[in-house]
Amino acid sequence: MATALSTTSKTIGTELPSGSLHLDNLVKQYPGGASAEPAVAGINLDILPGEFLTLLGPSGCGKTTTLRMIAGFETPSAGKLTLDGEDMLELTPDKRPMAMVFQSYALFPHMSVFDNVAYGLRLQKFPKKRVEEEVNFALTSMSLTKLADRAPNQLSGGQQQRVALARAMVMKPKVLLFDEPLSNLDAKLRVQMRTEIRALQHKLGITSVYVTHDQDEAMSLSDRIVVMRQGRIEQVATPEVVYRQPASVFVADFIGRANFIDTSIGELIPGAEGTRASVHALGASYAVPAHDALQANSHVCLMVRPESVLLSAAPEAVEVSGNQGRVLKSVFYGAWVEYEIETMAGNVTAVSYDPAPGDILQAGTFVQVSFEQDRAWLLPAED
C-alpha cells in the first residue's frame, strides 16, 4: 500500500524541500526484559537531500524496524530523528512530510486508478482543479494515463505497483519510504520496475529510503547502501565500495559472492592510494589492497570475487598442489561459465564470461589458479 504520511503538498513544477534526514542513536527495544537484544541498537545515520539510500540486510537485522521508526509507525525506545532540523518524533505519521510504499499494493478495489491516486489530496481537501492537475501529472510520470479509469483488478502487478507509487509521489513528500515494494513481482518485472523507480526518483529529486534483502535491487538503485546486521550498521558506502572493499567478512559474504582464503600478513605496504599487504595464497605471493584495521603478522581473510579468479590449463598436472587445482564442476549459463575448483586452500569458485566454445574447461581438468591482486581485498578474520 502506498500511504501518504504528509498533510502538505507542493505545487507542480515548484522546488521540492531539501529532505535532509538525521538519525541520532536510534534504538528500538521490544518488551522481553533488559537482557533481550534490541531490534535496532543505536543507529547513527545522515541521509542527504535527494539521496537514494537503501537499508540492506538479512531478515531480522532491523532494517524494516528502522524504516517504520522513520515513518512514525514505531516509537523509538531512545534516540532522535530530525528532518531538515525539525524533530519528527513529536509528530504522528500523518503529520510527517513523508510517504510510504508498502510491500502490498492494497489499492482501494472500489476506486479507479485516478481516484486511488487522488485519495490523499482529496483527504486534505485540495480544490478539484488542483487535484486533477496533480493526479494527471503523477499518472503521466508513471505511464498510467491510459489506465486512469480502470479498476485495480484490471491491472497487472507492475501496473498496480505504479499506481501505489503514484499515490505516494502525488503528495510531493520530503522523504519517500519503500518497504520491499517489488517483492511480489516476478524477476523480469522487478528489473523493469526498479529502473523506473530510480529514473523517476532521480528526476524528482526526492530523498528516498528503500528497504530490501535483494542485493541486486540495492546495487542498482542506491546512491549509498547501509548494510545491517543484528540491529547494527556494518557499513555505509556506495555500491562499488561495498562490493569491492567490504568492511567485514559478513558484508563481503552478503553482497554478491566471494571466495575466502585464510592467510596471514607478511608486510604492510603504505601507499598514496591506500595500504597494501603482502600475503601468500594459492601457491604464490601477492600484494593486495588491505583494510585499514589490519596489522602486520595478523591472521586475516583474503576475499577474491569469482570473476577475479584466473584459470589457465595445466596439462602436465596430475595432482592438486601449489597453484594447481582441479575442476570439480563446470556449469554453462549462456553468458558465463561457473567453475568449482579444488585447491590446496579449499574449493574456489571462478566465473568466466562469454567463453569461446573450445575454451570451456570440463570437470576433471587440471588448471593453474591465480587471481587479479588489484581486485582482491584483505579483511580482518572473523571467529
Q: List per-residue pLDDT tens for the chain, 383 residues long.
A: 444 454 344 444 444 448 999 999 999 998 875 567 899 999 999 999 999 999 999 999 999 999 999 999 999 999 999 999 999 999 999 899 998 888 777 788 899 999 999 998 998 889 999 999 999 988 988 888 999 999 998 998 888 888 988 888 888 899 999 998 888 778 888 888 888 888 888 888 899 999 999 999 999 999 999 999 999 999 999 999 999 999 999 999 999 999 999 998 888 888 777 889 999 999 999 999 999 888 877 789 999 999 999 998 887 777 888 899 999 999 999 999 999 999 999 999 999 999 888 889 999 999 999 999 999 999 998 86
**Strand partners of residue 154:** none
Q: Of 211, 244, 277, which one is at a domain's C-terminal end?
A: 244
CA separation for the pair 10, 12 (Å, rounded): 6
Classify residue 92: in a domain, yes or no: yes
Helix (H) or strand (E) holding 160: helix 157-169
**Judging by beta carbons within 10 Å of its beta carbon (0-12, 13-18, 19+), is residue 225 exposed, middle or buried?**
buried
Q: Are residues 325 and 364 in the same domain?
A: yes
Q: Residue 337's closest CA among 351, 324, 326?
A: 351
CATH number at residue 84: 3.40.50.300
Write down the residue that cell numbers 497487472 correspond to.
156
- What is the model's pLDDT at position 81? 97
Strand pairing class (309-313; 299-304): unpaired
Q: Are residues 95 and 230 in the same domain?
A: yes
- Does residue 380 contact residue 301 with C-beta atoms inside 8 Å? yes
- What is the model's pLDDT at position 2? 46
CA separation for the pair 295, 297 (Å, rounded): 6
Q: Residue 98's closest CA among 74, 126, 68, 76?
A: 68
- What is the model's pLDDT at position 39? 94
CATH number at residue 298: 2.40.50.100
**Residues near 146 by Cβ (< 8 Å), separated by ≥ 6?**
none
- What is the model's pLDDT at position 15? 46
Model-level pTM greater than 0.85? yes
Q: Which amino acid is at 325?
A: G
Classify residue 330: in a domain, yes or no: yes
CA separation for the pair 282, 302 (Å, rounded): 11
Q: Of 212, 244, 276, which one is at a domain's C-terminal end?
A: 244
Q: Are residues 271 and 156 in the same domain?
A: no
Name the residue range of residue 315's domain: 257-380
Virtual CA dihedral for 126, 132, 138, 143, nearest 10 degrees?
Answer: 160
Classify residue 86: in a domain, yes or no: yes
Tell whether the torsion through CA atoms of 360, 365, 368 and 370 is positive or negative.
positive
Residue 259: alpha-carbon gap to chain centroid:
21
Q: Are residues 230 and 271 in the same domain?
A: no
Q: Of 244, 270, 304, which one is at a domain's C-terminal end?
A: 244
Classify residue 64: in a domain, yes or no: yes
Q: Are residues 298 and 362 in the same domain?
A: yes
Burial 74-106 (b: 16+ CB within 10 A, else e): bebeebebebbeeebeebebeebbbbbbbbebe
Domain count, the chain: 2
Q: What is the phi/psi pair of residue 152, to 5°? A: -55, -35
**Judging by beta carbons within 10 Å of its beta carbon (0-12, 13-18, 19+), is residue 49 exposed, middle or buried?**
middle
